Chain A
Amino acid sequence: MSAMLRGETLTVGYHKHAAPILEAQSISLKSNGITALIGPNGSGKSTLLRTLGRQLHPQAGHVVLDGQDVARLPARDLARTLGILFQENTAPGGLTVEALAYHGRHPHRRMFQDLTPEDHAAVDRALGLAGISDLRHRNISHLSGGQRQLAWLAMVLAQAPRVLLLDEPTTFLDLRHQLEVMEVVTRLREEMALTVVMVLHDINQAVRFADEIFALREGRIVAHGPPSQILTRALLRDVFGIEAEITQLSDGALVCVPLRPTPKMEELSDAI
């Protein structure tokens, strides 16, 4: 069963009285689909993702998961349904890939309960899905950045969530590892009926791998829709402030090639 996740008129700020980063925004995520949140730095896309994952508490509005306000859900119940992969992670030195993945079983285990066959199966499956079964006994601090990210992804998958939130999962990786992570994510959608929401920095990745894109600017969702509708020169100028060329690849996919920053308004008026 795929999960329904939506945010209703969310207003979010880091402190109670600080100016909100996100103001009265509503979002409904495509269940059993991949949604990408894009926008320039400071647009509120990570804030929105963290609010959806209950890492931040909205000043107003609700996050609703399968009809229930997540603010009222017990922490463990939420953790059994919703998993989050953070942008940067630190593992204590000496932790193995497998041991990390077993931590993902925490919300399914009771206080003094030993590991069950179900836990072992979930960890095996998670390592398999992430494509790192052969690394399971390796020390995480000895892995490359990309392998490490897959190890953390395996931990989240061991949680057996139905909603997966990814905060810039590819930002610090080289190209090959970026593609590997994105491939795992698409495979998940097919094999686990997961609802995936991810913040992406790379517009072309969002266009290529997502079913739906939400574009944010200055704390507001300014556009959403399927990639083909979102990727326009007007939107790139409006949201990212860049002039870009959009072309079609031989397989029909759209890509944008950023050319230069759009001149700012004041510069334009100076020119006139």
Chain B
Amino acid sequence: MVASAIVQTVAGSYEMTVGQALSALFDPDVWAHPGVLLRFLLGDEVVRGWGLDAGEPLATTTLIVWNIRVPRLLVSGLVGINLALSGTIFQAITRNDLASPYLLGVSSGAGLAAVVVLVIHPGLGVHLPLIASLGGVAAFLIVYALAWRGGTTPSRLILAGVIVGTIAGSIQTGLLLMAPDLAVVRDILAWITGSFTGVGWIHVRMALPWTLLVVALSLAGSRYLDLLMLGDGTASSLGVRIERTRFLLATAAILAAATSIAVAGQIAFVGLIVPHIARNLLGTAHRPLLLACIVVGPALLMSADTVARLALSPIQFPVGLVTGVLGGGYFLYLMRRRGEVRR
């Protein structure tokens, strides 16, 4: 994680040396003026009224590092946390190692909402993150309602997720084919693949509070995740209110998925692989697993983004492509090594 953080800070289409980058990163013009730092973190409008020292005008390298590279790093870290936690939770509540954050319809709902808005009413494009997240949450609620028959079961949830996903995906493809403007289609495709291109501090501000909430919720729920893994019967005989617990945990996982979709689109495989890596390292207890996700998720995603940004520099390709290729390779390795994938 540290290595990719350094590379991400130093390298890029604006050439600078390691020394320049580091001095930009630790530029006293930023650190010595709380006003500057807070303006990055909280946004111009919020901080302006506080009468804080605005500091010196910043040097170009400092501006590039602080306005482009640091927020991109932070966003990829936050998204990594969200996807990893979300995947871990979904794999536990569905008792299925192949569950991903997008299992219960959130990605297809988000995708469909985004495409509908961009194709039918392109003017609303600025609100894309919010609309996509809402679409994802709506799809999740539909999946839950479909799966409900006096209660849910993991397999009914998965089935309902597949149903909603398939239908939403078809409609989405249909709309894309009808889209009048090819540029719009390209934008949408890039967004669907997942990308950190053009993220800034506004995205950090968007993702940070939700991420904190999700981390808190999932850590609070870690013991319940362990119990749900024992099966619904056993868990309820131990005093767990299955449906309530499962719904709350799923909601936390959906919030995480929606947050990452909002800032970076649909990044494949991270939420699927990171829980596997963590389990291989630490076993089954969820508290250490979730904590590991908070480290491994960002590490993986920051590294993947480094590759996406620099491999064909100056052309950047969506980070979702890198994670997809990495993820496929990792699963192949797992499968070949010892048939590790359970069930």
Q: Report A91-117 residues with CB < 8 Å from chain B CB.
A: 91-95, 99-100, 103-104, 106-107, 111-112
Chain B: number of interface residues, binned into ranges? 20 to 34
Extra A-B contacts (4), CB below 8 Å, given A55-B236, A91-B229: A53-B237, A75-B240, A79-B238, A94-B284
| Pairwise interchain contact B227-A106, C-beta atoms closer than 8 A | yes
Smallest CB gap from A78: residue in B: B239
Looking at the assembled complex, report how far the CB atom of A80 sits from the nearest CB atom of chain B, in whole angstroms: 7
Cβ of B150 under 8 Å from chain A = yes
Looking at the assembled complex, report how far the CB atom of A83 sits from the nearest CB atom of chain B, in whole angstroms: 7
Provide the bound-state CA to CA distance between A38 and B309, in Å.
Answer: 68
Q: Report A45-77 residues with CB < 8 Å from chain B CB.
A: 53, 55, 75-77
Cβ of A15 under 8 Å from chain B = yes
Cβ of B342 under 8 Å from chain A = yes
Known: A89-B230, A91-B230, A94-B279. A84 touches B237 (CB 8 A): yes
Best-buried of A55, A75, A155 by chain B (most CB within 10 Å) = A75
Partner pick for A86 among B150, B223, B231, B285, CB 8 A cutoff:
B231
| Pairwise interchain contact A159-B231, C-beta atoms closer than 8 A | no
Cβ of A90 under 8 Å from chain B = yes
| Pairwise interchain contact B230-A79, C-beta atoms closer than 8 A | no
Residues of B within 8 A of A82 (CB): 237
Residues of A within 8 A of B238 (CB): 79, 103-104, 106-107, 159
Size of the chain A interface, CB-CB below 8 angstroms: 33
8 contacts between A and B (CB under 8 A): A75-B240, A77-B239, A82-B237, A90-B230, A106-B238, A106-B240, A107-B239, A159-B238
Smallest CB gap from A105: residue in B: B238
Looking at the assembled complex, report how far the CB atom of B39 sits from the nearest CB atom of chain A, in whole angstroms: 37
Cβ of B27 under 8 Å from chain A = no
| Pairwise interchain contact A55-B284, C-beta atoms closer than 8 A | no
Provide the bound-state CA to CA distance between A2 and B89, in Å.
Answer: 39
A-B pairs with lowest CB-CB distance, top 7: A79-B239, A76-B239, A107-B239, A84-B237, A92-B284, A94-B283, A92-B229
